[in-house]
Structure 1
Amino acid sequence: MKGLRETDFAYQAVYRYLTCLINEVGSETPIKLPSLRQLAERLNVSISTIQYAYSLLEKEGRVYSVAKSGYYAMPVSLNASFCSGNDLLETLYVSARRPGMLVMSTDEPALLQSLDSPLLLLERELVRQYPRQQQPLSQPCGELELRTALAARYTTSPTRYWHADDVYIGADLRGVLEILMAVLGLKGATVLVESPCDWTILRLLQAGGVQVFELPIAGTGCLDLQLLERLLTTETVRLAVLSSGVSMPRGSLMPADNRQRVARLLQQHDCWVLENDVYGELGHEPNGQRFRDLLDPERLIVFSTFEKFMGPEAPYGYLLSRQLSAELQRNFLLRSFRLSPIRQKAIARLYSSGRIDQHLQVLRRLLSERKARMIQVVRERLGDSLEWVDPAGGATLWARSLRPVDMRRVFQRMLKQSVVIAPGELFSLQGLHSQYVRLSHGFSGQHDLDTAMAMLADALRLELTD
């Protein structure tokens, strides 16, 4: 394992180790895999590294977890059936992990420029300063130094401030959101989301028994104020989930006047707001107005993750809330996230040294350049087939077919060409966006964008003629 770590990040080596372990089993029945602690001791890496490798395999459909039991290898027959089933998201995940695939379905901006190397270097330096035997007692809500750094970063005025005690850090974004749903008691409640919406959020709400109302984003980037007011008046809305800045996957910015009027309506109806700040650092113009600048902080919760802009070695999710502190602390303690305090300290030092701000400047420039390149190629290859939103940030392009097509069949055609795209229907629970597709421009340079777009043009044309 130590030899592998000379050239790979730890989670990549663990991922390959587990893949080999699963392939060796090759069973038609579920096989229990080693626990997080067993693998951490066996491979001499942190538990959070093992957890991240397992989460990747779980997304692929290679493993599944059982509460209070552990992880199991998915039977070969069941794993293979995912690609032929009706669950589009499962098919996408499994296909994206096949060797040789060009994955244009993801939204991973940090693939262009990650902070993995500086983070791990700083972590090694801190290990020498903080020997294991001198580590403090467990901090279930996250390392105090990192929570303090985040509180300072989100504080903008004497009234819009945060303290370290308002910040909660978990192993990943999904785990943090699951805790929040439990604390807010959202089962059976009504929640508003802007649409299109990230499929992770939609699936979590769906699995939690939440009644979801989708607010479509107009071509101008605005939300329909009349629809919003009608829903707030006629429905008992517990929560509204809104993007802080760039709305992904659409990539648009809400005009300032529309944002202000939406905020006023939400405050008039005393509605809690969950601000999605996952892409807050990834706008090409990052200093725009946010909902947290307009709303009462006492009715606001902000959530985000480091992974989108730092890379996979910083998978932690976090949220900020000035209310519900007793319930949040209790649930984080019960969840018992095992997070590396040293790595969290390293992230905090990257903030305090200004290294993250320097990194973000470079990353935004690279994303802007990639966006321009993709739009140029799409205009040349697909200008008569697609129309698109000029993204204000992120690493994807949201495009609509100019003619009615079955985008799921286009997705299947592209899979046969070893290209994975994300059909728009994944970003709605109510059948919206069936004519849309999300395309990533953040993939590695070994693939040919021109060729991939030519394949997509052919797939759209063939779908129209069939």
Structure 2
Amino acid sequence: MKTTGKDHFVYQAVYRYLTLLISEAGRSATLRLPSLRQLADRLNVSISTVQYAYSLLEKEGRVYSIAKSGYYAQASITPESPGSGSDLLETVYVNARRPGMCVLSADDPASLQPLDSPLLMLERELLRQYPRQPQWQVQPCGELELRTVLAARYTSSTVHCWQADDVYIGADLRGVLEILIAVLGLRRTTVVIESPCDWVILRLLEAAEVHVIELPMLAEGVIDLQQLESLLNSEPVRLVILSSVLSMPRGSLMPDVHRQAIARLLGEHGSWVLENDCYSELDDNGDTPRLRDYLDPDRLLVFSSFEKFIGAEAPYGFVLSRHWRSELQRHFLLRAFRLSPIRQKAIARLLSGGRLDQHLTVLRRLLKERRTHLIQLLRERSDVLQIVEPQGGATVWVRSLRPVDMGDVFQRLLKQQIIIAPGELFSLRGLHAHHLRLSPLSHGDPDLTSVVGLLSDALRLAPGE
């Protein structure tokens, strides 16, 4: 190390030494790197020189530090450009799992205030009350107690009512949606869906070769009724997929009069509707009428999941339907979801005992506080974004005021260990190219102020289109 000559070039040699260590760690290893003092002694250089080399690697996203533990490097991931043949969604997922990343792309509301502890406590109590069920007694469509509670929770009148036999519970939302695609025979049919839309739904429809027609949400949080009517008249629409209350990721709350107008139009055409109810519990108001309250329940299916408002310990997805009973039962039986009956009973007790509703009141308040803080920072430190004021949920939908190459923005931030969710992820036909979904719930970089500044810089520096 003494052969480097001038002292101010020594850090480059330290930098090169560290990059070799990272490369030799293997493609899947997470490597703990030498401490500042260890490396200074090993290479016979000053601690400040080692510190500078580490800081360079940290800015490049190749090294991350943990307080009172040291420096680490994960050599398995090389960020790939979303425009170079790789899948942008895969790039987001993979890099979001790297240690030390600031993940602004996530949508995990329950992580702010999970119900894991009360759920697991209930489960332990129930394990003492119920003996282990024989395999032949396990119900393929879900535990009867939970299905009964869900049916009651979704019943709003004598017309809009559900029975336990109308409820089907699966291991996760993806599995439930895959069953629905098969049961409804959606392969190579035409489906109308509001846009932007959750990427899980879009990818599943795309994999099933469904012809997806996207209805863009307008600035007021509504869809164009004339455009919808024109599609219903001119296209062989098999199904219409709409949000129940909150249109995510925009976070928009559709005016009730518009919701009723949509229901009337769909009723006149006898359209089948699949209602996305995943985010309804996160509406700031908490009591906004649902779209299903105005629809014909005999032409309606509803799907949702517990994970968004309970947490990772309740990943189950579910669907409510009055029709296709034998087909749904057969597909759930063939899928053979391995669901814990006791865990399902515990979730049922959370719902029926009022514990969930108390939790939702707190969670909605905390989510609103986090969103408000992020929006305030965006307004103070960024003059390049237009914000769609959210009315629920855990994220904020924004648009660049200047048409930019969002792939370039993504890459600039990725190099600084920041993950965003570009708007193109929420469309199959290139809509929302100048939009972003941002989350204030990141468990990475706690300094949200500096992160917002880096985001603004990346947008300013990105080439225009």
The answer to whether TM tops 0.5 is yes
Where 1:174 maps in the other structure, the secondary structure is helix
CA–CA distance in structure 2, aligned partners of residues 354 and 142 of structure 1 = 21
1:277 touches 1:302 (CA, 8 Å); kept in 2? yes
Q: Give the match for residue 105 of structure 1.
A: 105
1:41-70 Cα deviation digits (max 9, x unpaired)? xxxxxxxxxxxxxxxxxxxxxxxxxxxxxx
1:41-440 residue pairs with structure 2 within 5 A?
Answer: 85-132=85-132, 137-382=137-382, 384-440=383-439
Contact 2:100/2:444 (CA < 8 Å) preserved in 1? no
AA aligned opposite 1:327 = E
Contact 2:102 2:445 in 1 (8 A): no
> Residue 428 and residue 194 in structure 1: after superposition, are their counterparts in 2 closer, same or farther (change >3 A)?
same
- Cα distance in 2 for residues equivalent to 1:93 and 1:274: 27
8 Å contact kept, 1:171–1:316: yes
1:350 touches 1:356 (CA, 8 Å); kept in 2?
yes
Change beyond 3 A, Cα 1:381–1:135: same
Residue 340 of structure 1 aligns with an amino acid whose one-letter code is S
Q: 1:458 to 1:141 in 2, by over 3 A?
A: same
Structure 2 partner of 1:441: 440
Q: Which string of whole-angstrom CA distances, capped at 9 and with x for unpartnered residues, describes residues 401-444 of structure 1?
A: 00110111101111011010000000001110000000001223
Q: Give the TM-score taking structure 1 as reference length.
A: 0.82
Does structure 1 retain, via aligned residues, the 8 Å contact 2:405–2:464? no
Contact 2:79-2:95 at 8 Å conserved across structures: no
Question: TM (normalized to structure 2)?
Answer: 0.82
One-letter code aligned to 1:320:
L
Q: Which amino acid aligns with 1:150?
A: L
Whole-angstrom CA distance in 2 between matches of 1:108 and 1:208: 26
3-state DSSP of counterpart to 2:462: helix
Measure the CA separation in 1 of the matches of 2:135 and 2:202: 38
Provide the identity percentage.
64
Go from structure 1 to structure 2 and tell me whether the alpha carbon gap of 1:125 and 1:274 turns closer, same or farther (over 3 Å shift): same
Structure 2 gap ranges (5+) = 1-26, 30-73
Task: Please report how far the alpha carbon of residue 131 of structure 1 lies from its aligned counterpart in structure 2 after TM superposition.
Answer: 2.0
Deviations 1:208-240 (CA, angstroms, capped at 9, x unpaired) = 010000000000011101110110000010100
Letter in 1 for 2:452: M
Q: Deviations over 1:159-204 (max 9, x none)?
A: 1100000000000000000000000000111000000000000000
Tell me the distance in 2 between the aligned counterparts of 1:441 and 1:85.
30
Q: Distance in 2 between matches of 1:452 and 1:412?
A: 15
Q: Conserved in 1, the CA contact under 8 Å of 2:408 and 2:463?
A: no
Stretches of structure 1 that go unaligned for 5 or more consecutive residues are 1-21, 25-75
Counterpart-to-counterpart distance in 2, 1:106 and 1:444: 10
- The runs of at least 4 aligned residues of structure 1 exceeding 6 Å deviation read 76-79, 81-84
Report the Cα offset of residue 134 of structure 1: 6.7
In structure 2, the CA distance between the partners of 1:146 and 1:465, relative to structure 1 (3 Å rule), is closer
| C-alpha distance in structure 1 between counterparts of 2:172 and 2:275, whole Å | 17
Q: Distance in 2 between matches of 1:88 and 1:23?
A: 21
Check conservation: 1:305, 1:317, Cα contact below 8 A. Answer: yes
In structure 2, relative to structure 1, the CA distance for the partners of 1:221 and 1:81 (3 Å cut) is closer
Give distance in 2, aligned partners of 1:98 and 1:81: 11
2:203 maps to a residue whose letter is: R
Q: Contact (CA 8 Å) 1:111, 1:443: kept in 2 or not?
A: no
Greater C-alpha Rg: 2
Q: Distance in 1 between matches of 2:246 and 2:175?
A: 23
Contact 1:304 1:319 in 2 (8 A): yes
What CA distance in whole angstroms lies between the structure 1 residues aligned with 2:445 and 2:348?
34
SS class of match (1:392): coil
2:298/2:322 contact within 8 Å kept: yes
- Structure 1 position 349, deviation (Å): 0.6
Distance 1:279 1:156, change over 3 A: same
- Distance in 2, matches of 1:136 and 1:175, equals 22
Shift of residue 269, structure 1, vs aligned partner: 1.0
Deviations 1:325-382 (A, max 9, x none): 1100010000010000000000001111100000000000101111111110010111
Q: How many Å separate the matches in 1 of 2:175 and 2:281?
A: 21
Provide the rounded CA distance (Å) in 1 between the counterparts of 2:376 and 2:336.
Answer: 48
- Secondary structure of the residue aligned to 1:320 is strand
CA distance in 1, matches of 2:78, 2:267: 49
Is the Cα contact below 8 Å between 1:111 and 1:444 reproduced in 2?
A: no
- Count the aligned residue pairs: 395
Distance 1:220 1:146, change over 3 A: same
What is the distance in 2 between the residues matched to 1:325 and 1:152? 19
Over aligned residue pairs, what C-alpha RMSD do you find? 2.1
Separation of aligned partners in 1, 2:28 and 2:420: 27
Measured after TM superposition, the shift of residue 258 of structure 1 is: 1.5
- Note the alpha carbon deviations across 1:275-305, whole angstroms, 9 max, x for none: 0000010010121121110000000000000
Q: How many angstroms apart in 2 are the aligned matches of 1:77 and 1:282?
A: 38
Q: Label 1:385 to 1:334 Cα distance change in 2 as closer, same or farther (>3 A).
A: same
Counterparts of 1:290 and 1:297, CA distance in 2 = 12
In the alignment, the residues of structure 2 paired with residue 149 and residue 110 of structure 1 have an alpha-carbon distance, to the nearest angstrom, of 21
SS at match of 1:351: helix
Q: Secondary structure at the match of 2:342?
A: helix
Specify the code of the residue in structure 1 equivalent to 2:277.
D
